Every structure is written in C-alpha cells, then in structure tokens.
Structure 1
Amino acid sequence: MPNISQKGLAMPESPIRKLVPYAEAAIKKGRTIYQLNIGQPDIKTPAKALAAVKNNDIEVLSYSHSAGFESYRTKLAAYYQKHDINVQPNELIITTGGSEALLFTMGSICDAGDEVIIPEPFYANYNGFATASGVKVVPVKSKIEDGFALPPISEFEKLITSRTKAIIICNPGNPTGYLYTREEIEQLAEIVKKHDLFIVADEVYREFAYDGAKHYSIMSVPGLKEHAVMIDSVSKRYSMCGARIGCVASRNKDFMATAMKFAQARLSPPTFAQIASEAALDTEQEYFDEVIEEYTSRRNTLVQGLEQIEGVRVANPKGAFYCIAELPVNDAEDFAKWLLDSFDLDNETVMVAPAAGFYSTPNTGLNQVRIAYVLKQKDLLRAIEILKAALKEYKG
C-alpha cells in the first residue's frame, strides 16, 4: 500500500469541525443543537452584494487577473484609506479567502524549517498552514487572567533565532476576541524592525470592535513599509463566509512580486464572488453600526451568563465575536463530545469548540472552549441554560 506523506500525517484536524460527525449523529436522534462552535454569522449578507450576482449579463464566466479585478482592488484600496491604511491597488492581491492569503504569505517569506512566532491561543488553522508550508510555529503564551493581552515583548525576544522570519498576530483575535491596543501594536513594530522580521497581521475582524475601542492596523504604523503584511477577508465583515474572497496587502515590492507568483500558479480568484465583494464595498455605515450594536449585546448576554455558572471563568472580548471560557472539567474535548453524544435538555444540546486545538503548546487549554456568539439573544440564553445543566451532570 502506498504511504501517506509525513506532512499529511502531521496536518492537524480542525478543532472547530472535527466534532461534526457527533453533531450529525445527534441530529439524526432528533436533537436540536445550538451551534456555538463556528464563526458563521447569522447576520444577513448586504443586499447589494447578492443583487450584483443575481443581476448581471455575464455570458462567459472567465478568469480574472491573478491579482483580482482591478476595479475591485481600486475600490478596496479606497476603503482601506478611509481606515487610515494607505495602500494602492497594486499593493493588493485578491485571494480565495484569508486562508489562501496566509498560505501565499508563508510561502513567500519562509523556507522549510523556518519559524514564525505567534501569541497563543491563535486561529487553529495557523497550525495547518504552517504544517503545509513546512514552517515551525513557535508559540508565546497569553493568559486568560490577563484577558489574553499581548505577552511582554521580552517573551518574544527570547524566542527569536536565526530561523525566525515573522511574528503573526490576529487582531481582533480569533479565538480570544482580544483587541490589541495601539501601544501593543507599536511594541511589535519596534521588535520586528530591530530584528528585521516580517509582521503579519490577520485583520479580518477589523470592523468588530466594542466599547468605543478602535482597531489600529499594523499597516498604519510608520516605518513598516518593508515589514508589514496584512491579511483580510470579506467573510465576517459582510457575513459572506461562502464567498471565499480575501486579500493580502503589503508595500514591500519584493514580497508582493513573490506572492504574485503563488497567485499566478492558482490562476485567479472566483469571478462571481469578486463581483459580490466589490458590490459589498458600497454597504452603508448604518449596516455596520447595527451589526456592532447587535454583537455587543450578544457578547454581554453570553459573558454575563457564563460568569453566573459555578466554576466557569471567561475573558471579556473587546472585538471579533468569540470568547474563551475555562470550564470546571479536565478534558473539554471529551465534554464537547459528551454534549453531542450523551446529553440533552428537553432534546436540545450545544456544540462548542475545544480550545486545545487553538494552542501549539502540547497539553495546553485542555479545560477551555471557544464559544462563538453568533446566535440570537434568545438562543444564546437557552444555550447558556443547557451548558449550565450539562456541567452539573457531567462526570468526566
């Protein structure tokens, strides 16, 4: 029998999706599942985006430029400039989701065996992208008791070696919901300049900042022209996860020329999705104001509800739409499986994402889960009620 590659064997499972078979079995039993495990917003996609796909006269569904439509990149650059991010259309490459943007980035800045430093917990797929690229993730741990704030810069400095190529952050954070302050971003900027590294900022949740806080982009920091790489996506901003349109942006010409070779190798991003994404840029600010108000209310409902459950500790997120909760269990993955396989409250249960998969350090986050507050208020309240009852009954 032919052998599977070592890279393939090392590729981690998604902590978000690997419990799907348990959920499918629960549904077959007739149970209702409140899905707190995945960041799929229930907010409606802007009507303009959907109308642009429905109402067009395309007769041949052809390739686009490998960098994406020029018209889209021009409008996207204008959007960024409104957010104090001065990039030009030729400093943007449209990608098939933020995932492809991250793969292009790792492929452009790292060789096999090189290292990237990432504050953990982090978006679980960073582990997968690194494995696919032959790159080693070097974690620096943030703590729930600090709200998952940026670890001291001295902790980053201890980890830098001759193989270190970049520091990667997600801002606001998935899975923590932490929003880095301007001071923290500037501290990172200083260390990458000092050690001549890239700083890669995954900013797909830029629009989701709460309590009057403002998102500060790595692309807005002076003096980082050669160092800064931004990853972005329409998935969360416009509730368009299925469009699979993202982008990578940098003012570093050598980086962009290299990333373009990866873009050419995959030919082009999808045409209809680019049409929808370009139209979405005309969405009125009122849409975002309403979304932020809704998510702030959901966050408050979730955090307050979790804090009332005995033994649960939760970090209050300042952005995105996730939080990490520490549960009074030894093995959150076993608990998550048990919720789907063996527990129900009036034939209803909840699905959460075990947080260990969001860490690179072994045996870390074993009693934590990531919760996405993407459900309506009444459903969140019911999910909290079910979770409270489950924790009382669970004997694992």
Structure 2
Amino acid sequence: MPKISHKGQQMPASPIRKLTPYADKAKMHGKKVFHLNIGQPDIATPEGMLNAIKRIDFKVWAYTASEGTLSYRKKLVEYYNKLGYNISPENIIVTTGGSEAITIAMMSCLDPGDEVIIPEPFYANYNGFACQGGIEVKPILSHIENGFALPPIAEFEKLIGPNTKAIMICSPNNPTGYLYSKEELEALKDLALKHDLYLYSDEAYREFCYDGRSFTSPMHLDGLDENVIVLDTVSKRYSACGARLGCLITKNKAVIATALKFAQARLSPGMVEQIAGEAAVDTPDEYFEKVNKEYTNRRNAIVEALNHMEGVFCPNPGGAFYVVAKLPIDDADKFCQWMLESFSYNNQTVMMAPATGFYSTPGAGTDEVRLAYVLNIDDIEKAMICLDEGLKVYPGRTVSAKSLAGSHESV
C-alpha cells in the first residue's frame, strides 16, 4: 500500500474542527449543540454585498487577474487609506481567503528550515501553513495571568538565530482577543529593523476593538515599509466567512513581485467574491457601530459567566470575538470531546476548541479552551449554564484552576 507523505503525517489536525464528528453524532441523538468552537458569526452579512451578487449579469464566468481585479483593488485602497495605510493598488494581492494570504506570504519570504517567531497561543492554522512550507515555528509563550500580553522583547531576542526570518503577530488576537498597544508594536518595529526581519501582521479582526481602545497596525509605523506584510480577510469584518476573499498588502516591491508568481500559479481569486468585496467597502459606519456594540455585550456576558464558575479564570479581551479560559480540568482535548460525547444538560451541550492546538510548546494549554462568542446573548447564557454543569460532573475535574495574579481584572 502506498504511504502517506512525511509532511502529511506531520500536518496537525485543526483544534477548531477536529471534534466535528462528535458534534454531528450528538445532534443525531437529538442534542442541541452550542457552537462556540469556531469564529462563524451569526451577524447578518451587509445587504450591499448580497445585493451586489443578486445584481450580477455576466455571460461568461471568467478568470480574473491573478492579483485581483483592478476595480476591487482600487476599492480596497479607499478602505485602507481611510485607515492611514497610504497604499496603491500595486501594493495589494487579492487572495482566496486570509489563509491563502498567509501561505503566499510565507512561501514568498521563507525557505524550508527558516524560522518564524510567533507569540503563543496563536491561530492554530499557522502551524499547518508552516508545516506545508517546511518552516519552523519558534513559539514565544504569553500568559493568561496578564491577559496574554506581548512577551518582553528580550524574550524574542533570545530566539533569534541565523535561520530566523520573520515575526508573526495577530492583533486583535485569535485566540486570546489581546489587542497590541502602539508601544508594543514600536518595540517589535525596532526588533525587526535591528535583525532585518519580516513582520507579518494578521489583521482579520481590525474592526473589533472594545472599550474605546484604538487599533494600531505596523503599517502606521514609520521606517518599516520594507518589512511589513499585512494579511487580511473579509470573513470576519463583513460576516462573510464563506466568501473566501482576502488580501496580502506590502510596500515591499520584491515581495509583491514574488507573491504574484504564487498567485499566478493558482490562477486567480473568484470573480463573484470580488464583486461582493467591492460593494462591501461601501458598508456604512453604522453597521460596524452596531456590530461592535453587540460583540461588546456578548464579550461581557461570556467573561462574567466564566469568571463566576468555580475554579475558572478568563481575562477580559480588548478585541476580536474569542476568549481563552482556564478550567479546572485534567485535559482540554478529553474534556471537549466528553462534553459532546458523554454529557448533556437539558438535552444541550457545548462545542469548544481545546487550546492545546493553539500552542506549539508541548504541554501548553492543557487546561485551557477557546470559546468564540459568535452566538446571540441568550444562546451564550444557555451555553455557559451548560458548561458550568458539565464542569461540576466531569470525571477529570481538578480541584481548581491555578491561582492567577491579577484576579479577574480587565487587561
């Protein structure tokens, strides 16, 4: 029998989706499953995007330019320059989702054996994308005790070696919701310039900043034009995950030229998606204001509920729509599976993502889970009651989550 590739064997399973068979089986048995495992918002997609699709009238569903249509890239320039990025259409490669933006950026800048430093926990698929390219992730641990703040720059420097070529950040962060400050980004800028590193900035959650906090991008920092590569997507901003439309942005001409070759190899991004994307740029500010208020309320509800559970700690995130919570459990993977396979409360259960998959450090995150507050508050409250009841009877429950400095203060 032919053998699977070594790379295929090493490819990690997604902590977000790997428990889906257990959720499906629970539903077959009549249980209601609250999906807090995946960042699929229930917020309505802007009408402008949907109407643009309905109005489509073409005779041939043709290829588009490999870098994306000029009309869409011009609309993206409007959006990004309103934010102060000072770019032109030539600085943009349109991609099939944010995932392709990440993989093309990695392939364009990193060779097999090269290293990228990523504060962990981080978006689980970074591990998978790195595996595809033979790239080594060098994780730098952030801690739940201080809300997963950026680790000290001195800790980054300890990891930098001859094969280190890049740093990857995500702000607001998936999975922690941590929002990097301008001061933290300035420190990363100095480090990138000192060691001539690329700085990848995953900005999928740019619109989701709470409590009056502002978003800062490395694109806002002077002197970093050759180092910064922004990775973005319409998935979360416009609640359009199924559109699979993203982009790569950089002012580094060599990176753009190289990325275009990878884009040409996969031919082109979808035509219909870009038509919808053009319309999305004209989404009124009122849409985002309403969405931001809704997510703020959901965040408050889930964080308060979690911190009222015995032995549970959850920091209050500054952005995105995720939390990582520390639970009094022996093993997050076992617990999340048990909740789907062996537990129900009022014929309901909760699907979560075990946090182990958001770390590269062996043994990290074993008592943590990621929860996405993408459901309405009523469902979140029911899910939290269900989780609390599950924790009370879970066979692998520990005495308590570890004591945490800073108690339950916002971070």
Give the alignment's TM-score, normalised by structure 2. 0.96
For 1:7, the aligned partner's letter is: K
Match in the other structure for 1:286 = 286
CA contact (8 A) 1:86 1:220 kept: no
Looking at structure 2, the residues matched to 218 and 9 of structure 1 have their Cα atoms a distance apart, in angstroms, of 35
Structure 1: 5+ residue stretches without partners: none
Give 3-state SS (helix, strand or coil) of 1:370's partner: strand
Deviation at 1:69, TM superposition (A): 0.9
Corresponding position: 1:22 with 2:22 = yes
Looking at structure 1, the residues matched to 259 and 360 of structure 2 have their Cα atoms a distance apart, in angstroms, of 26
**What are the within-5 Å matches in structure 2 for residues 107-146 of structure 1?**
107-146=107-146
Give 3-state SS (helix, strand or coil) of 1:313's partner: coil
For 2:363, the aligned partner's letter is: N
Deviation at 1:315, TM superposition (A): 1.5
Alpha-carbon deviations, 1:96-133, whole Å to 9, x = none? 00000000011011111000000000000000000001
Deviation at 1:2, TM superposition (A): 1.1
Alpha-carbon deviations, 1:242-271, whole Å to 9, x = none? 000000000000011000000000000011
Looking at structure 1, the residues matched to 60 and 140 of structure 2 have their Cα atoms a distance apart, in angstroms, of 49
CA contact (8 A) 1:66 1:260 kept: yes
Looking at structure 2, the residues matched to 204 and 144 of structure 1 have their Cα atoms a distance apart, in angstroms, of 22
Looking at structure 2, the residues matched to 350 and 36 of structure 1 have their Cα atoms a distance apart, in angstroms, of 7
Match in the other structure for 2:401 = none
Match in the other structure for 2:244 = 244
Match in the other structure for 1:265 = 265
Match in the other structure for 2:300 = 300
Give 3-state SS (helix, strand or coil) of 2:45's partner: coil
Looking at structure 2, the residues matched to 134 and 41 of structure 1 have their Cα atoms a distance apart, in angstroms, of 32
Deviation at 1:387, TM superposition (A): 0.5
For 1:142, the aligned partner's letter is: S
Give 3-state SS (helix, strand or coil) of 1:391's partner: helix
Give 3-state SS (helix, strand or coil) of 1:314's partner: coil
Runs of 4+ in 1 over 4 A off after TM superposition: none
Corresponding position: 1:209 with 2:220 = no
Match in the other structure for 1:31 = 31
Give 3-state SS (helix, strand or coil) of 2:362's partner: coil
Match in the other structure for 2:157 = 157
Deviation at 1:47, TM superposition (A): 0.5
Looking at structure 2, the residues matched to 220 and 108 of structure 1 have their Cα atoms a distance apart, in angstroms, of 23
Give 3-state SS (helix, strand or coil) of 2:247's partner: strand
Alpha-carbon deviations, 1:72-111, whole Å to 9, x = none? 1011011111111111110000000000000001101111
Match in the other structure for 2:221 = 221
Alpha-carbon deviations, 1:309-365, whole Å to 9, x = none? 000011211000000000000101111111101100111111000000000001110
CA contact (8 A) 1:178 1:319 kept: yes
CA contact (8 A) 1:315 1:325 kept: yes
Looking at structure 1, the residues matched to 93 and 192 of structure 2 have their Cα atoms a distance apart, in angstroms, of 23
For 2:248, the aligned partner's letter is: V
Give 3-state SS (helix, strand or coil) of 2:336's partner: helix
Match in the other structure for 1:98 = 98
Match in the other structure for 1:193 = 193
Match in the other structure for 2:175 = 175
For 2:210, the aligned partner's letter is: Y
Deviation at 1:57, TM superposition (A): 1.2
Looking at structure 2, the residues matched to 78 and 283 of structure 1 have their Cα atoms a distance apart, in angstroms, of 12
Alpha-carbon deviations, 1:199-246, whole Å to 9, x = none? 000001000000000110111110011100000000000000000000
Looking at structure 1, the residues matched to 145 and 86 of structure 2 have their Cα atoms a distance apart, in angstroms, of 36
Looking at structure 2, the residues matched to 9 and 343 of structure 1 have their Cα atoms a distance apart, in angstroms, of 32
Give 3-state SS (helix, strand or coil) of 2:68's partner: coil
Looking at structure 2, the residues matched to 219 and 230 of structure 1 have their Cα atoms a distance apart, in angstroms, of 8
Percent identity among equivalent residues? 57
Give the alignment's TM-score, normalised by structure 1. 0.99
Alpha-carbon deviations, 1:264-294, whole Å to 9, x = none? 0000001111111111111000000000000
Give 3-state SS (helix, strand or coil) of 2:116's partner: strand
Structure 2: 5+ residue stretches without partners: 397-411
For 1:245, the aligned partner's letter is: L
Looking at structure 1, the residues matched to 202 and 86 of structure 2 have their Cα atoms a distance apart, in angstroms, of 17
